[in-house]
Structures are given as C-alpha cells and as structure tokens.
Amino acid sequence: MKILLIGYGKMGQTIGALAAQRGHEIAGIVDLHASQATIADFTPATVDVAIEFTHPDSAFANVMACLRQGLPVVCGSTGWLHHFEEAAALTKELNGSLFYASNYSVGVNLFFHFNEYMAAKMHQFGGYDVAVREIHHTQKIDQPSGTALTAAEGILHHFPGKTTWRNAPAETPAELAILSERTGDAVGTHIVTYTSAVDTLELKHEAHSREGFALGALLAAEWLPGRHGVFGMKELLGL
C-alpha cells in the first residue's frame, strides 16, 4: 500500500517506521519541517491512503484537501472537531472516505467501550459521582485531550444527571470534571473514577509507547480504501 504521511513529528515517524515493517511504502511526506511537498502534489494514482497527524490549527484544512484530491484520509489530530460536521458533509458530497479517531490504540477503544457500559451500570445503582483525569507530555497542545473528551461524551450519554463537562473541578453536580495534567514525556494516561461514600472504582488506560497508536492508525489505513463514508474505531473493531 502507498501511504502519504501528513505530519512527520513523533507520531508520523513512528507510523512511517511501522508501515515499512508491515510492507507498505511511504509515497510522500507533507510536513513544514521535513519536506516541501503539498497535498495537491498527490492523487489516487500515486497514493492509496493519507494518514494525518498534525496540529489542531492545520488538521481541518488537511482533511478537506485530502477529500478534494480524492484521497482516503485517516486523521488522528485532535482539537479541530468543531469543524467535523463540515468535513463529514464534504465526505458525503464527494463520496469520499474519512476515518477519524481521537485515539487509535486498540486498548483505548476497548477502554471507551467499557467506559460506556460502566457509566450506565454505575448510574443504575446510584450513590456515585464521576470524574475524568488525563495525563500527557508537556508538548501536547490541546486540553483536554481528544481521548478524554471521547470518554466524557460516553459518560454524558449514559450517566443521566451529568449534562456537561468542565476542564476543571466540577462546580455543580451536573458538571463532569475533566482534570488535565501535562508532565514530562508521558505518552498518555486516562482514568475514569467513580466515588461514593463507601468506595472508589477506577477504569484506567495507560499507554507505554506510541506504537499502539501507530498500529491502530495503520490498521485503519489498511481497512479504509474501497469504503466510502465517515468511519471510526467502532466500525474497524466491530464494537
């Protein structure tokens, strides 16, 4: 498979190395610091799929450019979802292919699945409050993380009484607190904590390296070509 890498930071480099191990070809790199190529330089004749891991400020434009070029695109950038409906609409209009996940780790997506189940059960039995905590490296720009937001959305959907999230300690019972920490070179830790007067329960995912994210993105890139529409990890993993 011929892959266009958009963004060649830590994630892009990890994906590139793992792609080579899996027998794929990096057909091009679009990155301000690593090449002068642009998305417009590539077509479906030269690239099978694009993988986009850049910056919240550039991700939306990159996704839209891929769609207009007819390139299936796997996007892992977070912090741009206020534009997601526009990207989804263009995908439909052009009969394109867009795969988005806030986190491509298979383990994290199982975490999302169990998070929703747990929220429904914990509310059913009552007496618990819930909060989300996320820990990342100091270079991560968006806050809270996309993974924390996905976890929060799962809780809000299944835990009546929580109607909105707040990136700080909750000030009202209806608020779900998301507590963000940036420290050292932490790859990524997400913890959902339920607390009652008598006990505490936690659901936790801790990443040990970026390879889990890179593998998930490559699995998505291998799966996407030939499909049309907007997809995510639930479709890929059958969750």
Instruction: Round the CA-based radius of gyration of the chain to a whole number and report it.
Output: 19
Q: Do residues 162 and 175 touch, judged by C-beta distance below 8 A?
A: yes
Strands 175-182 and 2-6, by their bridges, are: unpaired
Phi and psi at 194, nearest 5°, equal -110, 130
- Tens-level pLDDT at each residue, the chain (239 residues): 999 999 999 899 999 999 999 999 999 999 988 888 999 999 999 999 999 999 989 999 999 999 999 999 999 998 899 999 999 999 999 999 999 998 898 999 999 999 999 999 999 988 999 999 999 988 787 789 888 999 999 999 999 999 999 999 999 999 999 999 998 888 889 999 999 999 999 999 998 888 888 999 999 999 999 999 999 999 999 98
Residue 2 falls in the annotated catalytic set: no
**Per-residue confidence (pLDDT) for residue 33, from 0 to 100:** 85
The per-residue pLDDT for 18 is: 95
Transcribe 47-105 into DSSP letters: -SEEEE---HHHHHHHHHHHHHHT--EEE---S-GGGHHHHHHHHHHHT-EEEE-S---
d(CA 107, CA 205): 8
Given the residues 2, 10, 55, 140, select the one marked as catalytic. 140
* pLDDT the model gives residue 62: 97
Amino acid at 113: H
92 is catalytic: no
Calpha distance 49→221 (Å, rounded) = 6
Which residue in the list 24, 136, 190, 205 is annotated as catalytic?
A: 136
